[in-house]
A = this chain, B = another copy of it.
Amino acid sequence: MPELRKDPIIGRWVIISTERGKRPSDFGVTMEKKGCKLCPFCPGNESATPPEIIAFRPNGSRADRPGWTLRVISNKFPALKIEGDLNREGHGMFDKMNGVGAHEVIIESPDHSSDFGDFGDKTAQDVIWAYRMRIIDLKKDPRFRYIMVFKNYGEAAGASLEHAHSQLIATPIVPKRVTEELEGSQKYYQFKERCIFCDIIRQEMSDGERVISSNDNFVALEPFAPRMPFETWILPTKHFSTLEDIPEKVIPDLASILRETLKRLAVSLNNAPYNYILHTRPVENEGKEYFHFHIEIMPKLTKVAGFEWGTGFYINPTAPEDAAKYLREVNLSAVPESLVKNQVH
């Protein structure tokens, strides 16, 4: 019997097809790396990108020259423009404003062919540090109400370049999905005076069947009502509502569980394309007590998203308990099959 399950935070029901449950190998994902051909994110090609905003340069090399280990630049084709005022205006019953915002790219490593799941400790941690630094800096701009960090990996997930990178968009509005999470978790807080995410973490860690792994400060799990097969969340086990609030000393734990989880997904799903999104509260203090920072990872395995994002009604062919079991059992020293076939240098 298929099951209808309700997401406790925003109240979305999803259909979980537990009977014809799809295993990782059923998705037939193919992922080819093309290798570096005039990649603007590779060392030596710095002039092909906008000037760097920040960069980590352990050898003290000059800006916009090789020698960096991580680089943050403006997006060459920004969805929003950094200059200008908001100029809110109405047209009859419609509302609009100027598309003011920041759109930055975090080039995670100088190495063209590696990705987060295979980074060394320092590279993985530096990516998190770069997210934090940019968020803290952009929060000073009074025009911005939300700062969203995300990563598209693979063409099917929307990445136009294959060199490891993430993106950051600072917006004068709070995205709808975030508003829903804020409202849902606020309702629960008003009713129980507890953070709903903290309660979920307690129940999940006690149940265990949807937990993939945990360390002293973070847990990786499959949510109870996932929209997509192998949707995976990473949450701090203590209550923090933003990445900036998380103590500096636990950043290595976040980098390490994110890397390990991406590696588990890559091995299990043959290096499938994915998106991850940092879910944080808005720039203002709204949600400090009741919103819980987390990262949502969405492997791109199914094609039916068109209908599903149109209705908000998701049919998920893999139960999260099964997905968690597959991911727990992954051999972390394995190499994804598609990477063995398409070795790139």
Which A residues lie at the B interface, using CB under 8 A?
Answer: 1-6, 8, 10-13, 15-17, 20, 77, 79-81, 84, 92-99, 148, 150, 152, 155-158, 169, 171-173, 175-180, 196, 199-200, 203, 207, 224-225, 227, 273-275, 277, 296, 298, 300, 303-313, 315
Nearest B residue to A177 by beta-carbon distance? Answer: B312
Q: How close is A306's CB to chain B, nearest CB, in angstroms?
A: 4
Task: List 30 interface pairs A-B (beta carbons < 8 Å), by A numbering.
Answer: A1-B81, A2-B98, A4-B171, A5-B94, A8-B93, A8-B94, A10-B176, A12-B176, A13-B175, A16-B99, A93-B196, A93-B199, A93-B200, A93-B203, A94-B203, A94-B225, A155-B303, A157-B303, A157-B307, A171-B313, A175-B311, A176-B311, A178-B312, A180-B312, A227-B309, A273-B306, A275-B307, A277-B310, A298-B306, A308-B309
Which of B79, B80, B169, B275 interacts with A306 by CB under 8 Å?
B275
Nearest first, the 8 A-B pairs at minimum CB distance are A2-B99, A177-B312, A176-B312, A158-B304, A175-B313, A309-B309, A275-B306, A6-B95
Residues of B within 8 A of A311 (CB): 148, 150, 175-178, 277
Q: How close is A132's CB to chain B, nearest CB, in angstroms?
A: 20
CB pair B152–A2 under 8 Å, yes or no, is no
Copies in the complex: 2
Q: How close is A22's CB to chain B, nearest CB, in angstroms?
A: 12
Which of B171, B179, B305 interacts with A305 by CB under 8 Å?
B305
